[in-house]
Amino acid sequence: MTDYSPRPGAAPVGRMLLAQTAFETKMLLRNGEQLLLTVVIPTVLLVLFSAVDIVAVDGPGKRVDFLAPGLLALAVMSTAFTGQAIATGFERRYGVLKRLGASPLPRWTLLTAKTGCVLVTEILQVALLSVIALALGWSPHGNLLAVAALLVLGTAAFSGLGLLMAGTLKAEATLAAANLVFILLLLAGGVIVPLSKFPDAVRSALELLPISALSDGLRSVLQHGAGVPWSDLGILAVWSVLGLAAAARFFRWE
């Protein structure tokens, strides 16, 4: 005889993690504003500036060789930092994190699920931007393992900073600050404007930013076919450690 009696208890952690990751990803894909930030803006910038002579190189193919790595870096920042900070900030404001924290879902599993959602989104972004860039004449070079290492460390760095902002500021302040930082780093992080166009003193400071390290590292590998960009990886590693440690220390769940 079949037993239909209730079996109370939490599901296995692995199943909870997969379910929460899938839920976070679905919510992101349904959010039009998030899609605009993470997919539409990098795509439009890639197509637009590939046809506009803002870089001192010859031909649209050469311009896309410069722009594609920078916009891949921008895609990582838009998802791991800006999008995650805004979404998490409002989840914290509306008590979503507080309620999830009281559920059987471990808090580390929730943060891991958010990271998984970010990685899934980034894979889609990188695939889309790469296809468009190739159609525009992009000729990538270099070691794919070095590219993967840069993207992973860039994700960790921006995730830590995004969670730190979302866990310490009010939701409205997070919204304003995250968008402001996005715009500033887009203009001054070597994404579409080469850092060589800035004065030497300013450039030295800008090169230490995570977006600059990520875009410069991707460009050195994919455009110039260089080896492992250890200095850029080192900068991203420092930002990753500092950002994640600060987020773990100061993040408030309510």
Average pLDDT, the chain: 85
- Tracing tokens 């109370």 back to the chain, one arrives at 8
Q: Is the dihedral of CA 53, 35, 135, 76 positive or negative?
A: positive
Of the listed ranges 87-96, 160-169, 197-206, the least confidently predicted one is: 87-96
Per-residue confidence at 48, pLDDT binned at 50, 70, 90?
A: confident
| Alpha-carbon span 120 to 142, nearest angstrom | 23
C-beta pairs of 20-28 under 8 Å, 24+ apart in sequence: 20/105, 20/109, 20/110, 20/113, 21/112, 21/113, 21/116, 21/117, 21/120, 23/113, 24/113, 24/114, 24/116, 24/117, 25/116, 25/117, 25/120, 25/121, 27/87, 28/83, 28/87, 28/117, 28/121
Of the listed ranges 5-9, 62-66, 120-124, the least confidently predicted one is: 5-9
Instruction: Please state the pTM of the whole predicted model.
Output: 0.87
Tell me, what's the pLDDT at 25? 79
Taking 70 as the threshold, does the pLDDT of residue 57 lie above it? no
Tell me, what's the pLDDT at 118? 86
| CB neighbour list of residue 54: distance below 8 Å, 6 or more residues apart | 63, 192, 193
Give, as one character, the DSSP assignment of residue 68. Answer: H
Q: Is the dihedral of CA 52, 54, 58, 62 positive or negative?
A: negative
Taking 60 as the threshold, does the pLDDT of residue 58 lie above it? no
Mean pLDDT of 46-65: 71
Taking 90 as the threshold, does the pLDDT of residue 22 lie above it? no
Taking 80 as the threshold, does the pLDDT of residue 122 lie above it? yes
